[in-house]
Structure 1
Amino acid sequence: MKSKKISIIAGVIFIAILIIATIYSRNYYQKQLPKVDIAISKSGTLNIEDKKEGFKYTVPLKALHKDQNDRNYVLMVKEQKGAWGKEYICESKFVVVLKKGESQVALKKGIKYPVVVSSDKPVFNGSVVSFN
């Protein structure tokens, strides 16, 4: 009887340690993710050489990148279900630039997902990120 109680207490302590270790490791992992600022493709006005032009789809200039083949792309942030709940994954999307302004870029087509404007660490296609 006494050994059964000790076994139960040891089992409860073991499970409690596992739960605490899991919570700690999940929080540590979350803190290590790159933190990004995002923007949404929307209609806007570009300032080009003291002229203003309206466009249907714009994103901040900081969201635009070029690959090694000189193609323009943005990093979209998509929500996916992960092992511990929601995860936010970067996915590159090639875009056609109509015009560049001082702080905005006009695109031929809109983008369905938010785009990365800035990050505290380098992010790439497939990076898991969190938000500022």
Structure 2
Amino acid sequence: MKIRKGWVLTGIIFLLFVVGCTIYSRTYYQWNLPTVEIMAPRSGTLMLGRYDVRSVSKKEEGSSGFTHSTQILLPLTVNYFFVDDEAEVTLTGIRNSTRKGRVTSITYTKENLVLTIGFHAENFADGESVDVSIMKETTLLSNIMPKSALHEDDKGAYLFVVMKEQGAWGREYVVRRMDVTVWASTEQEFSVSSTIEYPVVFASDSKLADGQRVRFYP
């Protein structure tokens, strides 16, 4: 009987040892996985650009439909303004006097994009200073994310999304590559035309690869 009790006690100790080792191994395994931060894409608009420029006015005598015009110089990389886009023109010599203007023409030099803005201003002298504010937003978009979520290689643009999959320790979180088409982009954010059904990784403490197991902060 004493021998049997000894074997039982030994068996219990061994079982506890195995369970402890298993828990330690799993914990060690999980804590050494790459840590990612995830998010759900948002819907809304993207601010493509806004420019506030001081310029000088010019009286119009042609058929533009405006009494005055002014020109502003923008970088050649700006490609989202078009004729008839609205602008706000402030007459600097007249306190709190703001007019609605419109882009009447777009031309190019070797160094700049030139927007001509037409506006109405009665009894406003030629050559007076004006402040022009012009901005452009996209239409309503879905799947907007921070630029840190976007990756590119020779195959194109892609994201990492987090999925639940069966692994050695049961259900685990795995990152999967998702190829996407970028619909619109700014310096801070972008939008894709693809449907996204899983949380998107926007930050990681190490380099990721397709199929890699991770832990995350929601």
TM-score using structure 2 length: 0.57
- 1:49 alignment partner, SS class: strand
> In 2, Cα distance between the equivalents of 1:32 and 1:2?
44
Equivalent position of 2:41 in the other structure: 41
Match of 2:146 among 41, 60, 67: 60
Equivalent position of 2:20 in the other structure: 20
Equivalent position of 1:115 in the other structure: 200
- 1:80 alignment partner, SS class: strand
> In 1, Cα distance between the equivalents of 2:165 and 2:147?
26
Q: Are 1:76 and 1:116, in contact at CA under 8 Å, matched by a contact in 2?
A: yes
Identity percentage over the alignment? 37
Equivalent position of 1:89 in the other structure: 174
- 1:58 alignment partner, SS class: strand
Equivalent position of 2:159 in the other structure: 74
> In 1, Cα distance between the equivalents of 2:45 and 2:171?
34
Query: 1:26-54 CA deviation, whole Å, 9 max, x = no partner?
Result: 11111101110112123122121122223
The runs of at least 4 aligned residues of structure 1 exceeding 2 Å deviation read: 81-86
Letter in 2 for 1:121: S
Letter in 2 for 1:29: Y
Change (3 A) 1:102 1:47: farther
Which has the higher mean CA deviation after the structures are superposed, 7-16 or 93-102? 93-102
Equivalent pairs counted in the alignment come to 131
C-alpha displacement of 1:14:
0.4
TM-score using structure 1 length: 0.91
> In 2, Cα distance between the equivalents of 1:110 and 1:42?
12
Q: Which one has a larger percent helix, Structure 1 or Structure 2?
A: 1
C-alpha displacement of 1:25:
0.7
Larger Rg belongs to: 2
**Greater relative contact order (Cα < 8 A, sep 6+):** 1
Q: Are 1:41 and 1:110, in contact at CA under 8 Å, matched by a contact in 2?
A: no
What is the CA RMSD across the aligned residues, in angstroms? 1.4
- 2:210 alignment partner, SS class: coil
